Amino acid sequence: MRMNAVDLKHPELYLNRDLSLLEFNRRVLAQAQDVRVPLLERLRFLCIASSNLDEFFEIRVAALKQKAKLGATETGPDAMTAAEVLKVIEARAHALVDEQYRTLNELLLPALAAEGIRFIRRGDWNKKQEAWLRKYFKEALQPVLSPLGLDPAHPFPRILNKSLNFMVSLAGKDAFGRNSGLAMLSAPRALPRVIQLPPEETRGGPHDFVFLSSTIHAHADDLFHGMNMAGFYQFRVTRNSDLFVDEEEIDDLLRAVEGELLTRHYGESVRLEVAHNCPPEVIAYLREQLNIEQGDVYQVAGPVNLSRLQGIYELCDRPELKYPAFSPAIPKQLLNEDLFKAIAKHDILLHHPFASFLPVIDFVRQAAADPHVLAIKQTLYRSGPDSAIVEALVKAAQAGKEITVIIELRARFDEEANVAVATRLQRAGAHVTYGVVGYKTHAKMILVVRREGKRLRHYVHLATGNYHPRTARLYTDYGLLSCRKYLGDDVHKVFNQLTSLGKVAKLNRLLHSPFTLHQGLLRKIAREAEHAATGRPARIIIKVNALIEPQLIQALYQASRAGVEIDLIVRGMCALRPGVAGVSQRIRVRSIIGRFLEHTRVFYFLNNGDEQVYGSSADWMERNMFRRVELCFPVENKGLRRRIIEDLQWYLRDNCQAWLLSADGTYHLSSPKEKQAAFSAQEALLALFTGDAPAGDGQ
């Protein structure tokens, strides 16, 4: 079949990745506005949206500003220069921030107050509250606050990234006769941004809170004795926080990362948040000191760091205002049975957070204690500061087992924790490496070598997500436990490649970046296109966190044009434009935003009835295909493969938490059609794993 020629590289066929990421944050914010979501969870979503926006400025906006500053004219697939993208971001980010504070002030604070969770303003404190807060200020705040008068002998200080600060306008002369008119005050990060008032001492409710900024403001006169305080304005600076390590010029990556961590908090300024009532002359002063453009100033009607309100969630013991608690399930194959014996019988699939992460921890723990286990090899990208898995690896190394751990020191914002983990494992006697120069090791894999009779057997765990127990309760991910020989041999080869020097080893079943994954995916997409072109059924379902790699997008466009039905479940960035006549009319894109962060990367190909399902650590981005070490593993047990396919079908049925991407780049929240029952994939999966599956469904 011959198709009319279409330029699949035309810029109009691509959405901008950074603007798409902003749209994702808008979808997260919509959860904070959704009255169907429990109230304290709505507050959490507001905090998550704020935190996401912080990282967006720290990494993406910072990188765009550097390019624009250098006059870079190169463009992405959408043909927008860095300067052009920044201009659009400025308008959309300001609107998004305004919407965040409208959500806080008009929706959440009144709703919380109606539930007895109050944020009491300075003018509304009763006498008891005033007295308690004054004592609190004297004893807990004043000793750690260091006001700084600004004059030639006291220049404007270096401001820590995302720290809470105050500009103070003063009138009068100090003890030395000085009258600069301005002073500055920084709130140490150790101080809570929200203070809970004790009800018995303040005659208030059990969930009365006061902002730290209000408390300091109310007592700031004590810090400037004899001066008249004319104005007090909070502000916050966001800085470029991406680490730069020139790996070709260093001898010790661990020490280089440690050195860069010291300077991360003082990168170039990219955003200034100030109180809504801050006068223009003070803003102008801050802009000059911080080298900030007017378009990068965000005046906000509330605390300048919304993400720090997340502490309220833990301080309020109000289960009726939170998602119902649940206990992750343990697969029945693992109940009352030795883990290695269970895996030897058949592959085991774990779907977190619905299934417990405990079997993964037990896998390493049992391997560490088993006298028949000779070696354990594992990758660690993010593991958490108090990781049970790291503890087990330490004990195994101390017991004399051969322990090899590949730690990615440059896992963004986890670098410091990973440095500490690497140091601890090295001291225990483990072999610790940091992957390959120029490539982040993002693959999720464990290999256990066990002596069974006269042979050595390989047990593996392959996953789509990190070895982090906390995120395993919040993120959806798959993990596969198996002792299939070809998987064990492949994982063994990949570990050897990462820890030694040598050519690329040929793998049996696994695809891995930066070598075979990209081309392997292109071939599988092309195969579906060939099936469709010859009249056979053809289908592709892809579930990822981001889809922006141009060649993969072009391959999907080609497949759509050939007649392949394609469903894409893309949580965050998506540069593909669906529903374009003659190009992508058979492609549908949805984003699921709900209680859990959708994190699974799953690839399904109909393959003329011989269905293939892959799990992977890789998103469909250039970095994952060409600049990272990633794994893509097949799920070949028929029952487990069918489970994943049915999971995907549930996500495609979702009409409550699914946002549908239109050809114009906008997202619209789906809703049940007339006479159609409401269906949430996440809620259905929770019900399934807790034994209360929806009627008519099963896996």
The stretch 391-403 carries a mean pLDDT of: 92
State residue 162's pLDDT score: 93
Higher pLDDT, 241 or 226: 241
Q: Measuring CA to CA, how many Å separate 72 from each of 56, 82, 465? A: 20, 7, 35
Q: How far apart are CA 467 and CA 442, in angstroms?
A: 11
Domain ranges of the chain: 12-115, 144-308, 332-509, 529-689
The lowest-confidence range among 149-158, 188-197, 329-338, 346-355 is 149-158
Contacts for 331-337 with beta carbons within 8 Å, 24 or more apart? 331/355, 331/359, 334/359
The stretch 179-191 carries a mean pLDDT of: 85
Q: Note the residue count of the chain.
A: 699
- Tell me, letter by letter, the H, E, C secondary structure of 54-84: HHHHHHHHHHHHHHHHCCCCCCCCCCCCHHH
The stretch 618-630 carries a mean pLDDT of: 96
Q: Grade residue 287 by pLDDT with cuts at 50, 70 and 90.
A: very high
State residue 694's pLDDT score: 44
Q: Which amino acids are annotated catalytic?
A: 442
Positive or negative, the Cα torsion across 363, 368, 374, 380?
Answer: positive
* Contact of 484 with 347, CB cutoff 8 Å: yes
Is the pLDDT at 243 greater than 80, yes or no? no
* Identical fold between 144-308 and 529-689: no
State residue 344's pLDDT score: 95
The stretch 274-282 carries a mean pLDDT of: 94
- For the chain, state the CA radius of gyration: 27
* Contact of 297 with 270, CB cutoff 8 Å: no
Amino acid present at 607: N
Q: Grade residue 157 by pLDDT with cuts at 50, 70 and 90.
A: confident
State residue 182's pLDDT score: 87
SS3 of residue 226 by DSSP? coil
DSSP character string of 561-614: HHT-EEEEEESS-B-B-TT-TTTTTTEEEEEE-SSSEE---EEEE-GGGS-EEE
Amino acid present at 76: G
Q: Measuring CA to CA, how many Å separate 75 from each of 6, 84, 300, 689? A: 21, 10, 33, 46
State residue 696's pLDDT score: 38
State residue 119's pLDDT score: 96
What angle (nearest 5°) sits at the alpha carbon of residue 72, between those of residues 71 and 74?
155
Whether residue 155 is preceded by a cis peptide bond, meaning omega within 30 degrees of 0, is no
State residue 3's pLDDT score: 57
What does the DSSP 8-state code read for residue 690? T
99 is written with which tokens?
A: 């919407």
Is the pLDDT at 94 greater than 70, yes or no? yes
Q: How far apart are CA 443 and CA 617, in angstroms?
A: 6
Amino acid present at 389: I
Fold of 332-509: Endonuclease; Chain A (3.30.870)
Q: What are the pLDDT digits (tens) for 192-203?
A: 999 999 998 988
CATH class label, 529-689: alpha beta
Higher pLDDT, 526 or 260: 526
Burial 110-129 (b: 16+ CB within 10 A, else e): eebeeeebbbbeeeebeeeb
Fold of 12-115: Methane Monooxygenase Hydroxylase; Chain G, domain 1 (1.20.58)
Is the pLDDT at 435 greater than 90, yes or no? no
Q: How far apart are CA 388 and CA 361, in angstroms?
A: 7
State residue 255's pLDDT score: 54
State residue 502's pLDDT score: 73
Is the pLDDT at 207 greater than 50, yes or no? yes
Q: What are the pLDDT digits (tens) for 341-374?
A: 999 999 999 999 999 999 999 999 999 999 999 9
Q: Grade residue 413 by pLDDT with cuts at 50, 70 and 90.
A: low
The CA-to-CA distance between both ends of the chain, in Å, stands at: 38
Q: How far apart are CA 698 and CA 311, in angstroms?
A: 38
Positive or negative, the Cα torsion across 355, 360, 361, 363?
Answer: positive
Whether residue 303 is preceded by a cis peptide bond, meaning omega within 30 degrees of 0, is no
* Contact of 679 with 655, CB cutoff 8 Å: yes
State residue 606's pLDDT score: 98
Q: How far apart are CA 542 and CA 528, in angstroms?
A: 13
Is the pLDDT at 247 greater than 70, yes or no? no
Cβ neighbours around 195 below 10 Å, total: 19
- Decide the pairing of beta strands 511-513 and 628-634: antiparallel
Q: How far apart are CA 144 and CA 167, in angstroms?
A: 17
The stretch 221-238 carries a mean pLDDT of: 88
**Residue 640, Cα to own-chain centre: how many angstroms?**
27
Fold of 144-308: polyphosphate kinase like (3.30.1840)
616 is written with which tokens?
A: 């992977």
41 is written with which tokens?
A: 């969870």
Cβ neighbours around 594 below 10 Å, total: 18
pTM more than 0.85 = yes
